[in-house]
Chains A and B, each alone.
Chain A
Amino acid sequence: GESVGLHLPTLSVQEGDNSIINCAYSNSASDYFIWYKQESGKGPQFIIDIRSNMDKRQGQRVTVLLNKTVKHLSLQIAATQPGDSAVYFCAEKAAGNKLTFGGGTRVLVKP
């Protein structure tokens, strides 16, 4: 089936700097996208979502950008903190309730 970014790259960022996590998706029919954060030993935790009729959505310290032309999704974290260290997953949804998850990006925050 369709897949979303199967690699697990690592992003090292200095505390206080901004982080940008990228995700490429492959299903042009996807109309809903979610970013999840997973800390060690825990389940994925919802961060922010965006629908395909939008190209930007902001939350608390986080911004998601959607570029449907190139099928690209990004998560920006402002003023990255040690508690932001985790694996971040993007997920896409086309028809039905099924989410397809990417392979994840590990974020390491250096003090």
Chain B
Amino acid sequence: DAGVIQSPRHEVTEMGQEVTLRCKPISGHNSLFWYRQTMMRGLELLIYFNNNVPIDDSGMPEDRFSAKMPNASFSTLKIQPSEPRDSAVYFCASSLFGNEQFFGPGTRLTVL
């Protein structure tokens, strides 16, 4: 199994630009999670889906952030417009029936 796949691995963009992060969960997993990791705030859950349906988006910072899961094998996290304070490592994770979550390698986002 390839594990959770994220793309791109690194993204550098300018303030105001739209950023789209992509995730392919482990095949057969029914839950998908988006996290953000910074030195100041640690690992924060942004949103998670069960069976492609958003369950808890209370961690999404503001309306500039949106996430979709159009099917069981793909999810996106979009930031529009991006700001320097969005710079962080964004992780996607997946799990089966609420057990241990398997993390992807992350996307390091830098907003200039």
Specify whether A and B are partners: yes
Question: Known contacts being A98-B45, A103-B42, A104-B42, is A43 close to B56, with CB within 8 Å?
Answer: no
Cβ contacts under 8 Å, A8 to chain B: 42
Find out whether the CB atom of B105 lies under 8 angstroms from the CB atom of A46: no
Find out whether the CB atom of A43 lies under 8 angstroms from the CB atom of B42: no
Cβ contacts under 8 Å, A32 to chain B: 98
Find out whether the CB atom of B31 lies under 8 angstroms from the CB atom of A97: yes
At the interface, yes or no: A25 with Cβ under 8 Å from chain B?
A: no
A104, B43: Cα distance in complex, Å: 9
Cβ contacts under 8 Å, B56 to chain A: 96, 98
Min CB gap A87→B, angstroms: 10
> Residue B43 contacts which of A44, A45, A96 (CB distance < 8 angstroms)?
A44
Cβ contacts under 8 Å, B42 to chain A: 6, 8, 101-104
Find out whether the CB atom of A44 lies under 8 angstroms from the CB atom of B95: no
Find out whether the CB atom of B45 lies under 8 angstroms from the CB atom of A44: no
> Chain B interface secondary structure, helix, strand, loop or mixed?
strand
When C-beta atoms are compared, the residue in chain A nearest to B92 turns out to be: A43
Cβ contacts under 8 Å, B62 to chain A: none
> Quick one: which of A1, A93, A98 has the most chain B CB within 10 A?
A98
A98, B35: Cα distance in complex, Å: 11
> Residue A99 contacts which of B45, B102, B105 (CB distance < 8 angstroms)?
B45
Cβ contacts under 8 Å, B31 to chain A: 97
Which residues on B are within 8 Å of A, measured CB to CB?
4, 31, 33, 42-43, 45, 48, 50, 55-56, 58, 91, 93, 95, 98-106
| 26 residue pairs A–B, Cβ–Cβ below 8 Å | A1-B58, A6-B42, A8-B42, A36-B103, A42-B105, A43-B4, A43-B91, A43-B93, A43-B103, A43-B104, A46-B100, A46-B102, A49-B100, A93-B98, A96-B55, A96-B56, A97-B31, A97-B33, A97-B48, A97-B55, A97-B98, A99-B101, A101-B42, A102-B42, A104-B42, A104-B43
